[in-house]
Amino acid sequence: MNNNPESNIFKLFELLNPCRLCPNSCGAKRLEGEPGECRTANDIFVASANVHHSEEPPISGSRGSGTIFFANCSLSCVFCQNYPISQLGNANLYTLKQLVAAMLELQSKGVHNINFVTPTHYAAHMAKAVVIAKKEGLIIPILYNSSGYDSVETLKLLEGIVDIYMPDAKYSDNGLSEKYSNAHNYWYVNKKALLEMHRQVGTLELDKEGIAVKGLIIRHLVLPGGIAGSKEVLEFIAEHISNKTFLSLMAQYHPANKSNNYPELARRLTEDEYGRIRDFAHTLGFVNGWQQEL
């Protein structure tokens, strides 16, 4: 693996034309202005760049996470709670210079990290901005906060640029991922992505103040009716990565976006549904991570 950041950035931009940056491999000529399946061409659209205090404790810490929320997404989840940004593209146009400036401004506010949200389809632009920002004084960790629908080829080119990976593990059924997220191969792709992320950064490492400096956090949103296949997801993580993995088991599901078009998704999660998955995680030996109240 070539760990020369400049060379890797060149390769990442090569993946944009025709686009195979993400597992959709839609072939759009994004550098020439043609939007891909992610509804994005070559312009950078950022919905917000703010100090965020509601991430997992080692990410937000006491001073917050420097969250940069990209618009659009390589998935189209019918239940997405951020759909005005991820699917409607509500955001501001940024230049690369403005993206770098946003990172440095957030660092000046004392945040613990730069947290790129939904970065998959912007991996090339993100990497280039990080390398420039580091030359201009950026020293805090870089966090890649993704849907987990990430290409191993792209992830390998991010090695040494990303310090903390925080992907979702959404489903363990490719048929359901196609139905609800327009991704026919999500579980196949996600497993490979999780393994590659762990290979790069390992189990989460905390500093003396309990702040994340490097490593992997996996998020799993429990869905009503067992749609997410949560037990299979947790079994894979425990068996093929480690039950020492920091697991964020989320209970925040509520009907949003197009959920009401699907009766099985048109209700909130119950305490019993979440409790069964929480207890199952305990039986697998997961001890690191966080749970939520409904």
The pLDDT, as a whole number, for residue 9 is: 97
Rounded to whole angstroms, the Cα distance separating 267 from 118 reads 25
CB burial of residue 261 (10 Å; 0-12, 13-18, 19+): exposed
Pairing between β-strand 205-206 and β-strand 164-165 as defined by DSSP bridges: unpaired
pLDDT interval class at 4 (50, 70, 90): confident
pTM for this model (two decimals): 0.97
Using the Cα atoms of residue 251, residue 255, residue 258 and residue 264 in order, give the sign of their dihedral.
Answer: positive
Per-residue model confidence as pLDDT tens digits over 84-123: 999 999 999 999 999 999 999 999 999 999 999 999 999 9
Per-residue model confidence as pLDDT tens digits over 207-257: 999 999 999 999 999 999 999 999 999 999 999 999 999 999 999 999 999
Residue type, 83: Y
CA-CA distances (angstroms) from residue 2 to 90, 149, 209, 268? 36, 23, 33, 46
Per-residue model confidence as pLDDT tens digits over 156-188: 999 999 999 999 999 999 999 999 999 999 999
Cβ atoms of residues 144 and 67 within 8 Å: no
Residue type, 210: G
Rounded to whole angstroms, the Cα distance separating 283 from 60 reads 28
Give the chain's radius of gyration (CA, Å): 18
CA-CA distances (angstroms) from residue 57 to 77, 147, 279, 288? 26, 20, 22, 12
Per-residue model confidence as pLDDT tens digits over 121-158: 999 999 999 999 999 999 999 999 999 999 999 999 99
Looking at residue 273, which CATH number applies to its domain?
Answer: 3.20.20.70
**Number of domains comprising the chain:** 1
Rounded to whole angstroms, the Cα distance separating 36 from 20 reads 10
Phi, psi at 232, each rounded to 5° = -65, -35
Look at residue 1 and tell me whether its pLDDT is greater than 60: no
The residue range of the domain holding 192 is 5-291
Rounded to whole angstroms, the Cα distance separating 197 from 143 reads 12
